[in-house]
Amino acid sequence: MPDQASPIRPKLVTACVVLIGDEVLSGRTRDANLGYISKHLNQIGVQVREARVIPDIEEVIVATINEVRATYDYVFTTGGIGPTHDDITADAMAKAFGVAIGHHPEAIAILEAHYKETGGEFTDARKRMARIPDTASLIANPLSKAPGFQIGNVFVMAGVPMVMQVMLDSLTGRLEGGATMQSRTVSAQIGEGTIAEQLGALQLRYPDIGIGSYPYYRGKVFGTSLVLRGVDEGMLDKATAEALVLLKGFGVEPIAGEAV
């Protein structure tokens, strides 16, 4: 990617992920969506800079969405778009954007065809899944059909990971990405306290590369993984080479990647 080495600083496109649901907050469910969304978006040049986990409470959803959609280029939400009474995300989005909400004809048609095919009854509760705020456009769900939607810079997706993932796939063409964050990891069996001073000096020499230091424990073996991140691959490789030299200077044999 020759662009990345150019002296023009590539544009950073930012995002916030909002996980809507009591089940993650209470510890019943361990979130599996944030990491997936972050990695997926980075591949298309969108950087997740914040995530929030909030309960299924309308005023909290409205206030959170209105705060983060003004701060970040994009907002991605998961959860709360099913057929039951606790699925209040669509109504909350309409309120956040100050628009009306009703049954979206295309969403109704998709669900009607789906229930005709599967033999399920298209109940009023299931019609709830076709409630879409005015001005929103649908996000396709090839897996279980009930669509997500985009309103302004906010993308509203399902909470079930498999469904969220196909929705995210169907979004790709709609997102305008900027720079892609590249990363390199090196690990060694050494305490981070030992290397901290030299590592701080390395960070100062590479202000455009973020250097994270993460201690690890594998039974009785401990060590440190260094994660270097940046949009300029040439500079990233240079900084990584220096990190390897730094570690070797302490008499340990670093490996590329995570500790195994």
Does residue 192 bind its own copies (CB under 8 A)? Answer: yes
Identify the three-state secondary structure at position 115. helix
Q: With contact defined as beta carbons under 8 Å apart, do 12 and 81 qualify?
A: no
Q: Which two tokens stand for residue 144?
A: 């279980």
In the numeric block, the tokens 């401990």 are attached to 222
Task: For the segment 92-121, give every residue that binds its own copies (CB under 8 A).
Answer: 120-121
- To its own copies, the closest distance from the beta carbon of 173 in angstroms equals 22
Does residue 210 bind its own copies (CB under 8 A)? Answer: yes
Q: Which of the ranges 33-41, 95-103, 166-174, 249-257 carries the binding residues for its own copies, by CB under 8 A? A: 33-41
Calculate helix-pair angle for 89-97, 58-71, nearest 10 degrees. 50
Does residue 26 bind its own copies (CB under 8 A)? Answer: yes
Q: Which of the ranges 51-59, 92-100, 230-238, 240-248 carries the binding residues for its own copies, by CB under 8 A? A: 51-59
Q: Taking Cα atoms as reference points, which of 185, 190, 256, 189 lies closest to residue 227?
A: 185
Identify the three-state secondary structure at position 64. helix
Does residue 184 bind its own copies (CB under 8 A)? Answer: no
Q: Which two tokens stand for residue 122?
A: 């298209």
- Give the residues lining the site for its own copies (CB under 8 A): 21-32, 34-39, 42, 48-56, 60, 82-87, 120-121, 123-126, 128-129, 160, 162, 181, 183, 191-197, 199-200, 203, 210-215, 217, 227, 229
